[in-house]
Homo-oligomer: A and B are copies of this chain.
Amino acid sequence: MTKPLRLGVAGLGVVGTGLVQLLQRQGNALGVRAGRGLSLAAYSARRKRDGRAEIGDALYYDNAVKLAAEGDIDVYVELIGGADGIAFESVKAALQRGVPVVTANKAMLAAHGLELARLSEAHDAPLFYEAAVGGGIPVIKTLRESLAGNAIERVSGILNGTCNYILSRMETDRLPFDACLAEAQRLGYAEADPSFDVGGFDTAHKLAILTSLAFGSKIDASAVSVEGIESITLADLVAADELGFRVKLLGVAERTPHGVEQRVHPTMVGKSAPLAQIMGVLNAVSIAGDAIGELTLVGPGAGGDATASAVAADLIDVARGTRLPAFGRPAASLSDADRVPMQRHEGGYYVRLTVVDRPGAMGAIAARFGERMISLEAIMQKRATRESAAAGVVPVVLMTHGTTEALIRDALARTLEEGVVRERPQVIRIEREAV
C-alpha cells in the first residue's frame, strides 16, 4: 500500500476542527476510498492543541507560512481565511514548492484566484477549493467536472445562509429586518459585523468563483454588481407574497447579448421555483447548460462538519493524484471577464412607491412609465394606513413586464423630480427564468 498522505492543516476554527475530527472518525474508511491513508502530520493554530486525540502526534507550527514552506507534508490545507496576509502567503509558499493546496478561502480566491491558478500550473501543484462555495454542496466539482460537456448559460444561487435565514424569518414570521438580523447574530448565523454577509459581498466572492468555472473567464470579483438585503422591508415581503413571489438574495451569472452578467441582489422569484423553496440557512445552486437543461443542488452552505466534508473530498482527490486546472481550463485560456453595466440589465421589475395622495399622481407615474414603453403587469394600491394618511401619501406597488434597468431608473428619476413620489423608490429585480 502507498504511504499515507501527510496533511499540514493551518487553522483550527470551526472548519479545521470539523476536519480533524472527521479524519479521526472516518480514518480507515477514507483510506480505503482514497487508496492510501490520510494522516495529520502538522498543524498551525493560534495555540498548541497537543494531547487531543484528533491531533495525535502532529507537529505544531506557530507560523502557517513556515508550515507551508518547510513542513514535511504532501498537501497544505489552508483554513485560516482572509484574502491576504498569512493565508495568501502560505498558499503561495506551498504551491511554489509543488505542494498541492486545499482551501476553503473564497475571499482569497476572489482576490487572487488567477495568480494562484497560474502558480498551481507552473509548479504542477493542484489547487482544490470545494469548500469555498456552498459549504458541503459539491458545486465546484459539478461545474469543473460533471458539467464540463456543457456550454453553461446560467448559474444562479442562494449562496449566503445568513441572508437566506433573515429573509426566510422575516417572511414566515412577519418580523422586521433588524429583529431577524439580531436573532441571526444570537444564533451564531451572522457575524458581529454583518455587513459582509448582508451587503452581498460574501455572495459576490462565491459568484465570482462560479462564474470563472462556468464561463471560462478570469475570476474578477470587481465585475460583480452587488446589492445587499439591508433595504428590504417587511412591506416588500408581504407584497411579494400577495403577488406570488418570494424575495431571495441571489447571485446570478448569465450569458446575455451584452456579455456575461454577474450580479448579486435581492430578487423576486416565483413561489413555485426551486430556489424559492430554500428556506433558512440552506444554500442552493441552479445551473443551466445546453445539454443538461437545468440541475439544482441543495444542501448546507456552512457549518464545520459540512464544510469539512468538502475539504475531505478534495483531500481524497489529492491522494488519488487527480490533476486538473484550478478553474477547469488552463489559466492561459481563460478570457477576460465581461463587465456588463447593470443599466443594460433586461428583465421585469418590482417597484414600491410612496405616492403623494392627490388627483393625477398615479396618472403622472403611469405616463412616465408609458413614455418609456414600460408595460405594467400588476398595480397594487393598498388602503392608506393611519401613518401614510397623516403623511398624505399612499403605498403603491408596480410590477413591470420586461424592460431595461436604464428605462426603469430614468422613469423613477422623473417621478421624483415631478414630486408625485416621496422617499427613494424600492426596486427589486424579478427573475422569470426557471430559477
Contacts and interface: CB of A to CB of B under 8 A. Distances in A.
A33 interface: yes
A309 B292 CA distance: 6
A328 B313 CA distance: 12
Contacts of A32: 216, 329-330, 333
Given A295-B297, A295-B298, A290 B313 contact: no
Contacts of A328: 33
Contacts of A333: 32
A99 B200 CA distance: 49
Given A141-B146, A145-B316, A313-B148, A136 B298 contact: no
A289 B274 contact: no
Contacts of A298: 274, 295-298
A55 interface: no
A29 interface: yes
Interface stretch (A83-91, A317-325, A422-430): A317-325
A293 interface: yes
Interface of A: 18, 22, 25-26, 29-30, 32-35, 130, 136-138, 141-142, 145-151, 216, 274, 277, 289-300, 303, 305-306, 308-313, 315-317, 320-324, 328-330, 333
Given A137-B295, A297-B298, 19 more contacts: A18-B291, A26-B149, A30-B148, A34-B148, A35-B324, A145-B313, A146-B313, A147-B309, A148-B312, A148-B316, A149-B316, A290-B305, A291-B309, A291-B312, A292-B305, A293-B300, A293-B305, A296-B298, A322-B322
A289 B151 CA distance: 32
B306 A292 contact: yes
Contacts of A293: 136, 299-300, 303, 305-306
A79 to B, nearest CB: 15
B305 A294 contact: no
A310 B295 CA distance: 12
Given A146-B141, A295-B299, A296-B298, A289 B309 contact: yes
A147 to B, nearest CB: 7
6 contacts: A25-B151, A25-B290, A32-B330, A145-B316, A145-B317, A296-B298
Nearest to A150: B309
B292 A136 contact: yes
Looking at A35, A150, A322, which has the most chain B CB atoms within 10 Å of its CB? A150
Contacts of A309: 147, 149-150, 289, 291-292
A33 B329 contact: yes
A33 B146 contact: no
